[in-house]
Amino acid sequence: MTTILITLGFSALLAFVLGALLGFFREKFKVERDPLVDEVRGALPGANCGGCGYPGCDGYAEAVAARRAAPNLCSAGGSKTAEAVAKIVGVEAAAEDLVSVLLCGGVKEKALDKGSYVGLPTCRGAKLSTGSVKACAWGCQGFGDCVEVCKFDALSMGEDGLPHVDYDMCTGCGKCAEECPQRLFAMVPKARKGSVVLCSNRNVLKANVMKACKAGCIKCEACVKICPEACIAMVNGIPVTDYAKCTSCGKCVEKCPTKCYRLLEVDVMGAKKKVPVLA
Amino acid sequence: MTKIFIIALLINNVVLMRFLALCSYVGMTSDVGQSVGMGFAVTFVTVLATAATWPLYNFVLLPLGLGFLQILVFILVIASLVQLVEFYLKKNVPGLYAAMGIYLPLITTNCAILAVTFENISNGYSFIESIVYAVGVSLGYLLAMVLLAGVRIRIKNSPVPKFLKGTPILFAATSLIAIAFMGFSGLVK
């Protein structure tokens, strides 16, 4: 009986002493911090993706609270976070929700391999040692470096050999765009409507493009000619749409002989068909 | 004294020979710098925990006849100790806190640390011997961490069979390192 009592007493005493100690030292060693930092930190998503260019959400919160950074840099949180942060620090902010779009349509059956590749199974390694494992020097290497760096599980390698973006999960942090050795990811406002070329091949010769990939842009410029708004222009060998003018009429999409022209809101972000994901 | 140290560091390496602290061992070795930070944080906390629990057991628990409360008391004491140290570092040594602080909450209840404090008691070490043992064990942990972190860089760039990808290949690598460590077993007689 006495043992039980001693045990009880001792445990209670220990818990009390430790609790008091912790409470005491918590106050004694309190670090004075701008309460604004905590407020900003609370409004941030807390993924610590580094998309803003600061070391994690804490670093960014400190920079914003000290007015050293703009409140709209958090791409992961998008416009909602930017608004909330701007409200806290009292600045107006405008941020668009971005998503990442892969500018390559070189699926396995259409984009030919240069040869069989045995080496580092990373896009970067393949690019360094072979220039490109595909016959197309601009195409997706397909090892999924982008999938590895995505902190939001928005990317997955499809069975077609291309990474696929889940546009609901994508926060537009831009990590994949940074990682891709071919620079194939474009950061596009989520609300954008209009046509886009899913090809980055800049070879000017039609025959060379055809040889490498059946989904490539063959520089026929049919899209440039047919566009009623005259909003498509060839830039560095790739047709580029001027989204201020584009009305999403879809004529370029119809006309494109290799079907590499797509409508962003229909075929890219609104795509119904899901490609099976590689495990 | 050297014997205790060598045994703790190499022969009975806490990770590779006794398979303690495997969670942090697998979790924190994706980067060499990170594993070094974690290793030193563990060293720091282990020594502190030993310095706190050894007197507590020998001067308080034993005289009161409460040796059986060891587990409960040690866990409580170590957890609050780590918390205290975290407060202190945050205020007074922000540089060290930035380098080590993020690992501290991770190691509050690390089993290696708890094991060291128990073994100090069950092996009947004196206070000095306990501290040496604690340093040995935690440096052994650091060594194993850095070794695996190095191996992981190689694994990352190798074509690993699909069924071994991730943690399985890490445990395979760990067991190979462990076999290598068996070579140390004749080091001390």
Query: Looking at the complex, does the CB of residue A14 fall below 8 Å from at least one CB of chain B?
Result: yes
Answer whether A29 sits within 8 Å of B76, measured CB to CB: no
Q: What is the pLDDT of residues B91-149, one digit of tens each?
A: 777 777 776 666 676 677 688 889 999 999 999 999 999 999 999 999 999 999 999 99
Q: Which residue ranges does chain A devote to CATH 3.30.70.20?
A: 98-268
Instruction: With cut-offs at 50, 70 and 90, classify the pLDDT of residue B180.
Output: very high
Q: What is the pLDDT of residues A205-253, one digit of tens each?
A: 888 888 889 888 998 888 888 888 888 888 888 888 888 888 888 888 8
Separation in Å, CA of A36 to nearest CA in chain B: 19
Q: Which residue is associated with the tokens 């896009």?
A: A123
Answer whether A6 sits within 8 Å of B73, measured CB to CB: no
Query: What is the DSSP track for chain A?
Result: -HHHHHHHHHHHHHHHHHHHHHHHHHHHTPPP--HHHHHHHHHS------TTSSSHHHHHHHHHHTT-S-TT--TTTHHHHHHHHHHHHT-----PPEEEEE-----TTTBPBSS---S-SSHHHHHHHHS-SBSSTTS---S-HHHHH-TTS-EEEBTTSSEEE-TTT-----HHHHH-TT--EEEEETT--SEEE--------HHHHHHHBTTS-----HHHHH-TT--EEEETTEEEE-TTT-----HHHHH-TTS-EEEIIIIITT--PPPPBP-
Residue A273 confidence (pLDDT) above 70: no
Question: Which residues 76-135 of A are in CB contact (within 8 Å) with B?
Answer: 120-122, 125
Query: Looking at the complex, does the CB of residue B72 fall below 8 Å from at least one CB of chain A?
Result: yes
Residue A92 confidence (pLDDT) above 70: no
- For a pLDDT cut of 90, what percent of chain B falls above it? 35
Size of interface A-B (CB pairs under 8 A): 41
Answer whether A29 sits within 8 Å of B91, measured CB to CB: yes
Average pLDDT, chain A: 84
Question: For A32-36, A162-166, B67-71, B163-167, which range has the lowest pLDDT when averaged over its residues?
Answer: A32-36
Class of A98-268 in CATH: alpha beta
Nearest to A29 among B77, B80, B90 (CB): B90
Among A10, A120, A145, A278, which would you mutate to test the B interface (most chain B Cβ atoms within 10 Å of its Cβ)? A10
Q: What is the pLDDT of residues A22-76, one digit of tens each?
A: 888 888 877 777 788 888 888 888 777 777 777 678 778 888 887 777 777 887 8
- Which of chain A's residues have a Cβ under 8 Å away from the Cβ of B87? 25-26, 28-29
- Which of chain B's residues have a Cβ under 8 Å away from the Cβ of A56? none
As a whole number, mean pLDDT of residues B148-166 equals: 88
Identify the bridge partners of residue A113 per DSSP, sorted by sequence position. A134
Closest alpha carbon within chain B to A55: B98
Listed residue (B117, B111, B140, B113) closest to B22, CA to CA: B111
Residue B183 confidence (pLDDT) above 70: yes
Residue A94 confidence (pLDDT) above 60: no
Residue B48 confidence (pLDDT) above 80: yes
Separation in Å, CA of A230 to nearest CA in chain B: 48
pLDDT of residue A187: 87
Residue A93 confidence (pLDDT) above 60: no
Q: Which class for A132: exposed (0-12), middle (13-18), buried (19 or more C-beta within 10 A)?
A: buried
Instruction: With cut-offs at 50, 70 and 90, classify the pLDDT of residue B21.
Output: confident
Q: What is the pLDDT of residues A104-128, one digit of tens each?
A: 988 888 888 888 888 888 999 999 9
Among A18, A28, A117, which would you mutate to test the B interface (most chain B Cβ atoms within 10 Å of its Cβ)? A18
Most confident of A55-64, B1-10, B30-39: B1-10
- Which of chain A's residues have a Cβ under 8 Å away from the Cβ of B76? 14-15, 18
**Residue B54 is inside which H or E element, if any?**
helix B32-55
pLDDT of residue A180: 92
What residue ranges do the domains of chain B occupy?
Answer: 2-186
As a whole number, mean pLDDT of residues A184-200 equals: 87
What CATH fold (topology level) applies to the domain A35-89?
3-methyladenine DNA Glycosylase II; Chain A, domain 3 (1.10.15)
Residue A171 confidence (pLDDT) above 90: no
Predicted structure pTM score: 0.56
Residue A91 confidence (pLDDT) above 70: no
How far is residue B43's CA from residue B45's CA, in Å, rounded to a whole number? Answer: 6
Closest alpha carbon within chain B to A23: B84
How far is residue B167's CA from residue B180's CA, in Å, rounded to a whole number? Answer: 20
Closest alpha carbon within chain B to A33: B91
Answer whether B73 sits within 8 Å of A14, measured CB to CB: yes
Closest alpha carbon within chain B to A27: B87
Answer whether B69 sits within 8 Å of A11, measured CB to CB: yes
Query: Looking at the complex, does the CB of residue B182 fall below 8 Å from at least one CB of chain A?
Result: no
Instruction: With cut-offs at 50, 70 and 90, classify the pLDDT of residue A95.
Output: low
Residue B168 confidence (pLDDT) above 70: yes
Separation in Å, CA of A57 to nearest CA in chain B: 14
Nearest to A6 among B66, B76, B83 (CB): B66
Question: For A195-204, B62-71, B91-100, which range has the lowest pLDDT when averaged over its residues?
Answer: B91-100
How far is residue B129's CA from residue B116's CA, in Å, rounded to a whole number? Answer: 12
Q: Which residue ranges does chain A devote to CATH 1.10.15.40?
A: 35-89
As a whole number, mean pLDDT of residues A116-142 equals: 90
pLDDT of residue A73: 81
Q: What is the pLDDT of residues A2-37, one digit of tens each?
A: 888 888 988 899 999 999 988 888 888 777 777 888
